[in-house]
Structure 1
Amino acid sequence: MSDIDELQGRIAAALERIGKGVGQLDRPTPPPAAPEADPAELEDLRAALEDERLANAQLEERVRGIRDKQERQVAELREQVAASREALAQLDGELGRLRRANDMLRDTNEELSRAVAENVGEPHLINKAMLAELESIRAARATDKAEGAALLAALEPLLTEAAEGTAAETGAETEEDA
């Protein structure tokens, strides 16, 4: 029985130790203390963070502005290209039509000239054909002028841009020389 008493004492001691251990587990352990930060350093870091946020917001606004400007310019350029293509296609069609008319008039004049040479034709028909040919030539010349004007109109923005770029470069060089 003495063994039983001894075992009972040992079990009681073990249960007491277990109870203490469980009691400690139930209590929350405090987190390790954070090192104390210097308040001045914290304030400097907060100010630097706020400055970076402000700079970031400004950069995002600039990017947005540049993107909007670029999209407007691309849209304008597409419209200009479409208008130029349409104008050139129309001029090309008119020019082809006038050239065909000129060819037909020349052929008619040649036939009339042969008819007159064979004493078959009437002179007023020749005069009428020549007047038509002159009018056709005038129209072809007008079409050529219109085509040139369309080309100049298409090139003018490019020339203006190039001139502005040259002026800006010259101005920059002048400032550097000063």
Structure 2
Amino acid sequence: MSEIGELESRITAALDRIRQGLDAQMSGAPEQADDAALEAERATSAQLTEDLQAMQTAYDSVTAQFEAQKAQMALLDAELQSLRASNVQLRDMNTALREAVTEGLAPELLDKAIAAEVEALHAQRSADAAEIDAILTELTPLIEEPANAAG
């Protein structure tokens, strides 16, 4: 970001020099601006403007990537919370099932325990998928970076 500020100040200074040269030419002052110097300043100004735009584009890209990763981490967190809740429910059902087995089997408790276990497995799978997506999101720029650096 400091480079952007530096480029902005250089562009502003170049534009001020161009403006002063044009004012001197327009007023007919004895100090005529050198056309070659003026063109050089214009070229410098154009290059600095392009550099500033390139840096802004890179900054916007990094910002968008950060926001995408932040959203993916929020999704992963939600999946993990769901997994934790399912595991708590599974433990409670298994405790009730153990108690029922010691006192005599109750079929509805067995059905609830199996349903809770299936839900916990689905939640685990969703959490694993979200975690894999988060890891892939982190690794993708690293994998693509050598290809960009070589070309």
Which category describes the TM-score, using the shorter chain as reference length?
A: 0.5 to 0.7
Question: 1:139 and 2:108 equivalent?
Answer: no
Tell me, yes or no, if the aligned pair for 1:116 and 1:123 is still in contact at 8 Å: no
Instruction: Tell me the amino acid that sits aligned with residue 60 of structure 1.
Output: S
Aligned ranges 1:1-178 → 2 under 5 Å? 49-119=34-104, 121-165=105-149, 167-168=150-151
Instruction: Tell me the amino acid that sits aligned with residue 138 of structure 1.
Output: H
Instruction: Tell me how far apart the structure 1 counterparts of residues 116 and 92 of structure 2 sit (CA, whole Å).
Output: 12
Report which of the two structures shows the higher radius of gyration computed on alpha carbons.
1
Instruction: Tell me how far apart the structure 2 counterparts of residues 162 and 117 of structure 1 sit (CA, whole Å).
Output: 62
Percent of residue pairs bearing the same amino acid type: 33
Tell me, yes or no, if the aligned pair for 2:83 and 2:120 is still in contact at 8 Å: yes
Partner SS for 1:69: helix
RMSD: 2.2
Work out which structure has the larger RCO, using CA pairs closer than 8 Å and 6 or more positions apart in sequence. Answer: 2
Aligned residues, how many? 119
Partner SS for 1:75: helix
Partner SS for 1:90: helix
Instruction: Tell me how far apart the structure 2 counterparts of residues 101 and 65 of structure 1 sit (CA, whole Å).
Output: 54
TM-score by length of structure 2 reads 0.66
The runs of 5 or more residues in structure 2 that have no matched partner are: 1-31
Instruction: Tell me how far apart the structure 2 counterparts of residues 93 and 101 of structure 1 sit (CA, whole Å).
Output: 12
Tell me, yes or no, if the aligned pair for 2:86 and 2:120 is still in contact at 8 Å: yes
Moved over 4 A (4+): none
What CA deviation, in whole Å up to 9, does each residue of 1:155-174 have, x standing for no partner? 31332123322x24xxxxxx
Instruction: Tell me how far apart the structure 2 counterparts of residues 62 and 158 of structure 1 sit (CA, whole Å).
Output: 30
Instruction: Tell me the amino acid that sits aligned with residue 37 of structure 2.
Output: E
Instruction: Tell me the amino acid that sits aligned with residue 161 of structure 1.
Output: E
Partner SS for 2:124: helix
Using the TM superposition, name which of 121-130 and 61-70 deviates more: 121-130
Partner SS for 1:126: helix
Q: Tell me the CA shift for residue 74 of structure 1.
A: 1.0
